[in-house]
Amino acid sequence: MNFFDLHCDTLYKAVTEKSELDNPSYEVKLNNNSKSHRLQCYAIWLPDTLDGNEAEKLFFKSADYLKSECNRLGIELLGIMTLTWNEMNEIGSGVLSEDKCGLTDFGKLAVAEMEKYGIVIDISHASDELFYDVVNQTNKPFIATHSDSRTITPVSYTHLRAH
């Protein structure tokens, strides 16, 4: 059976718990079964509450951990990055952000660097303004790994707001 999962948050748990990515207690099961093919995208999740320095430290710690685990497990690495979670951060406004600024100046630089290094931009959790800023700024394809069209599934995001 073939699997294609574009968004897995297991990496954050493994990094913060200092556990192996293939920990049997996690919901994601990795194996080398030649009858199955998997594309598993691990998200490097950064809480919106982290300032730039804290976010940068957690990002590089997670990226280094993921590279190490991929080498240990014999897994190919592909970069995908979600720009926001739900609230405002230093890159731009999330879907629940009161400030609907779209991409910040720093966010525009981050998007340009992501394209430069071949990192796929994920616009899930983005505000409409951030989405359109990405549309107008990027030259390469981007994705929405875990989003839906409002015309198909109109969802109120107020229940997602962290307390």
Whole-structure pTM over 0.85, yes or no? no
Q: Give residues with Cβ within 8 angstroms of 80, minimum separation 6.
A: 6, 41, 43, 119, 120, 121, 122, 143, 145
Q: Where are the alpha helices (DSSP H) in 6-95?
A: 10-17, 52-73
Check pLDDT > 50 for residue 126: yes
Q: What mean pLDDT do residues 11-39 have?
A: 78
Q: What pLDDT, on a 0 to 100 scale, did the predictor assign at position 163? A: 41
Residue 61: which pLDDT band, with cuts at 50, 70 and 90? Answer: very high
Number of helices followed by number of strands (H, E) in the chain: 4, 4
What are the tokens at 13? 């748990």
CA angle 141, 60, 91 (to 5 degrees): 50
Kindly tell me if the per-residue pLDDT of 7 is higher than 60: yes
Roughly how many angstroms between the first and final C-alpha of the chain, as a whole number?
39
**Residue 42 backbone phi and psi in degrees, to 5:** -90, 125
Cβ pair 123, 83 in contact under 8 A: yes
Percent of the chain with pLDDT over 70: 87
Is residue 156 pLDDT above 80, yes or no?
no
